[in-house]
Structure 1
Amino acid sequence: MPLLYLDCQYGIAGDMALSALIDAGADINYVISHLNGLPVDPFVLGVSTVNQHGIQAKTLQLFFPLADTGPTPLSAPGRHLHHRRASAILAMIESSSLPLRVKQRATAVFSALARAEGKIHGIPPDEVHFHEVGAMDSIIDIIGVCLALESLDIDRIIASPVAVGGGKKQMAHGCYPIPAPATAELLLGIPLADFPVEGELTTPTGAAFINALVHEFRALPAVTLSAIGYGAGKKRFSHPNILRVMVCESAESRPERETVVTLQCEMDDISGENLGYVMERLFEQQALDVYYTPVYMKKNRPGTLVTVLCRPEDSAMLEEILLLETSTFGVRQTRHSRLILQRRIEYVTTPYGDIAVKIGFRGQRVYHTAPEYEQVRLAAKNHRVPFDLVWGTVRQSANADWAAACLKTSQVVTDSATKI
């Protein structure tokens, strides 16, 4: 699957990201059709072409015909006072018919924003009322970007160091230095670019994308470029206020063996509720797997061994979570080489809708097929049938499709051999 490179040397904002992805080939009609299925205020979404310092780019055009209070356009002063609670936004995403990966990404972005705002204001994330980022345009920016990523079938995201700008900015709670408090919180542990410019280059929404969706920060790796997009912001600077995105194919196929890091610590003085929260935090920050094992510790005390599997570049952030969120006084780290199957996602048609199936293979041989749990769960819930019934139907359809594909491949090989 393609990977995406975010060139954030001039910063990143929600509208810039969405317009850049559309410029790179994301289907705007796909984005709009899914957004229209959400319980949001009526909107008109489009892009136009602009030129900034000699670079042609797309800029987002987003309009709201009516405000909640009447016919006043939402672009009028004060529309950012249209607050929404984080828990309500997450519930809306969960109950929607958005594609599974879009739900996961949008939830990760909004959760990152809620944690950052909650930490700053000293309140639980679910109780956060968004101000600037809770306005309707930012909600559409975030979900729209996740839909655009799905339209391009982006599997992995890499980014450059991020420019943030400087100076001060007036916000809902007063005048604050740039980067804004939420932006700074979201960029903890992320490399920043040395680009001293007066003004806000990276917004909280842009920082949330970086925090929640980017797998790695580095210079552009060895890739084959398949598309490039430019998204322009509305502000004018002495430099191009543009985000560049690059849709790429890796120059090398995904290796069958890769290096992974195992983090471990054990505790005998932590509650089950705390462990549940820790697991959520670890998965939100790109842990590949997390599991708990009952163990007996010193003085024959029952305890819990926490094991985290992650990529090397994510280990430092995950260690910090373990030290911050648990009672451990240390974390052990070991490196391993693991053999991995290549994977692809295919969809099978069932009486309960089209459901994704993960295919694990090496070369021409398929080893495993596994329905996507969340889609099976939603289908069972929506059709009011047992989970096992949907799961079994998907497995049966997937195996039938796979057998047919194998037979077709065999026939092609036989025909070719006959002709030779």
Structure 2
Amino acid sequence: VSLDKLKDGLSQLNLDGYTITASTVLKKGIKATKVDVVAEGTDLPGRPLKDLREIISESNLESTIKDKSLSILQRLAEAEAIVHNCPVEEVHFQEVGHIDTIVDIVGSVYALHLLGIDKVISSPIDTGSGSVEMAHGLFPVPAPVTAELLKGVPVYASGIEKELTTPTGAAIITTIASSFQPLPEMKLSNIGYGAGGWELNEKANILRVLIGEDGDTYDMDEVFLIETNIDDMNPQIYEYIIDRLFQAGALDVYITPTIMKKSRPAHMLSIITKSEHLDNIRRLVFKETTTIGVRISKMARSILTREIREVKLPYGTVRVKIASDQNGVRSISPEYEDCKKIAMETGMPLRDVMELAMLTYTAK
């Protein structure tokens, strides 16, 4: 992004008292751009949410840029309100209320606008570790507001004892990113490196941005596969175990007949789950089966976009799962349990209920 174009966009804010500069630096031998927002005062007071909101909403920026910037600011304020136990409108940005917060938020959104970015995908977030000094004292990394903002996002600590993710940075990335996953298939067109201020011993302190076109427009996520071979358990127990595994958060459970050493017949129990359920499911497998060991592997998964809709039949409501990709709807599947319930209550054949649900949905 051209610095002059970025400055032109930021000049549409009713905000002064700062300068923005960009310089080329080397980080561990990698050329990167270091952007600095320098406030004219060294002891600026914090600003209430209302002030920051007005600066953005009363600017001359396009409505889409203002709306996205306000969404980031609101998300940041809501996290502050939770941590400090106060209403959102009473939030006073003590740690993040300076001019550079507004410039960081609006500048990021405006830069994406200049680049014509349609979708942002992020890798898991390295929060750093150690502690950070704030207005209220010394706190562990990630800081309380940062941790609040990163709920539901895959995070890790690489062992570097620095604050690598700030509240403002967390608010920006969790608002603009559509997913957090390994690098998706794409045709690269541009690569940018942004430099941080610290010189880290462990790695280059840079943020890399890869820009390109979708090579695979399917959604992707990261899952874990847990597998174990069992040859000494009553097969009747599997029904109970499968139910328990789904209750514990399994995305899928399946059993495959197999042959073990010395030609012993066995069953391979396979479970697919997200990282947040991995420990619970592993404990459940050891508790409820006779296995003495499990295999765990991490993998990327391509998935169709899914949504649940409801159709009303004369006999009740049936949920319908719609799976689609960039070319349109790929499959339509009535919810089995809903159809089974109607079939049991009415005496209709189950296949007729499922067919009626399909016809009702397609007629809509």
TM over 0.5: yes
User: C-alpha separation between the residues in 2 aligned to 1:60 and 1:50?
Assistant: 10
The answer to whether the aligner puts 1:46 opposite 2:46 as a matched pair is no
CA-CA distance at 1:226 after TM superposition: 0.8
Distance 1:314 1:119, change over 3 A: farther
CA-CA distance at 1:99 after TM superposition: 1.6
**Contact conserved, 1:86 with 1:129, CA < 8 A, in 2?**
yes
User: C-alpha separation between the residues in 2 aligned to 1:199 and 1:220?
Assistant: 25
**Contact conserved, 2:25 with 2:31, CA < 8 A, in 1?**
yes
Give the structure with higher Rg (CA).
Answer: 2
Q: Find 2:33's aligned residue among 46, 58, 63.
A: 58
Distance 1:314 1:41, change over 3 A: farther
The answer to whether the aligner puts 1:139 opposite 2:102 as a matched pair is yes
TM-score normalised to structure 1 length: 0.52
User: C-alpha separation between the residues in 1 aligned to 2:103 and 2:129?
Assistant: 27
Q: Find 1:214's aligned residue among 177, 181, 196.
A: 177
Distance 1:53 1:340, change over 3 A: closer
| Structure 1 equivalent of residue 151 of structure 2 | 188
**Contact conserved, 1:168 with 1:178, CA < 8 A, in 2?**
yes
TM-score normalised to structure 2 length: 0.60
**Contact conserved, 1:216 with 1:313, CA < 8 A, in 2?**
no
User: What is the identity percentage for the equivalent residue pairs of Structure 1 and Structure 2?
Assistant: 36
**Contact conserved, 1:101 with 1:150, CA < 8 A, in 2?**
no
| Structure 1 equivalent of residue 71 of structure 2 | 108
Report the AA paired with residue 49 of structure 1: T
**Contact conserved, 1:161 with 1:217, CA < 8 A, in 2?**
yes
User: C-alpha separation between the residues in 2 aligned to 1:220 and 1:38?
Assistant: 35
- Which SS does the other structure have where 1:133 is aligned? coil
| Structure 2 equivalent of residue 28 of structure 1 | 3
CA-CA distance at 1:44 after TM superposition: 1.9
**Structure with higher helix content:** 1
CA-CA distance at 1:134 after TM superposition: 1.2
CA-CA distance at 1:88 after TM superposition: 2.2
| Structure 2 equivalent of residue 96 of structure 1 | 59
Q: Find 1:336's aligned residue among 322, 326, 343.
A: 322
**Contact conserved, 1:142 with 1:205, CA < 8 A, in 2?**
yes
CA-CA distance at 1:243 after TM superposition: 0.6
**Contact conserved, 2:304 with 2:325, CA < 8 A, in 1?**
no
**Contact conserved, 1:28 with 1:148, CA < 8 A, in 2?**
no
**Contact conserved, 2:15 with 2:55, CA < 8 A, in 1?**
no
Distance 1:121 1:151, change over 3 A: same
| Structure 1 equivalent of residue 206 of structure 2 | 242
- Which SS does the other structure have where 1:197 is aligned? coil
CA-CA distance at 1:43 after TM superposition: 2.4
- Equivalent residues, number: 235
User: C-alpha separation between the residues in 2 aligned to 1:210 and 1:178?
Assistant: 18
User: C-alpha separation between the residues in 2 aligned to 1:62 and 1:96?
Assistant: 19
**Contact conserved, 2:304 with 2:323, CA < 8 A, in 1?**
no
CA-CA distance at 1:147 after TM superposition: 0.6
CA-CA distance at 1:218 after TM superposition: 0.8
The answer to whether the aligner puts 1:230 opposite 2:185 as a matched pair is no
User: C-alpha separation between the residues in 2 aligned to 1:333 and 1:39?
Assistant: 50
**Contact conserved, 1:164 with 1:178, CA < 8 A, in 2?**
yes
Structure 2: where are the runs of 5+ without partners?
Answer: 221-302, 308-317, 329-364
| Structure 1 equivalent of residue 140 of structure 2 | 177
**Contact conserved, 2:24 with 2:34, CA < 8 A, in 1?**
yes
User: C-alpha separation between the residues in 2 aligned to 1:178 and 1:313?
Assistant: 35
Report the AA paired with residue 33 of structure 1: D
The answer to whether the aligner puts 1:201 opposite 2:164 as a matched pair is yes
User: C-alpha separation between the residues in 1 aligned to 2:66 and 2:327?
Assistant: 25
CA-CA distance at 1:129 after TM superposition: 0.8
Report the AA paired with residue 139 of structure 1: I
Residues 119-171 of structure 1: per-residue CA shift (max 9 Å, x gap)? 01111112211122211112111111111010001111000001011111110
| Structure 1 equivalent of residue 84 of structure 2 | 121
Distance 1:154 1:173, change over 3 A: same
CA-CA distance at 1:42 after TM superposition: 3.0
Q: Find 1:37's aligned residue among 12, 36, 40.
A: 12
User: C-alpha separation between the residues in 1 aligned to 2:36 and 2:214?
Assistant: 33
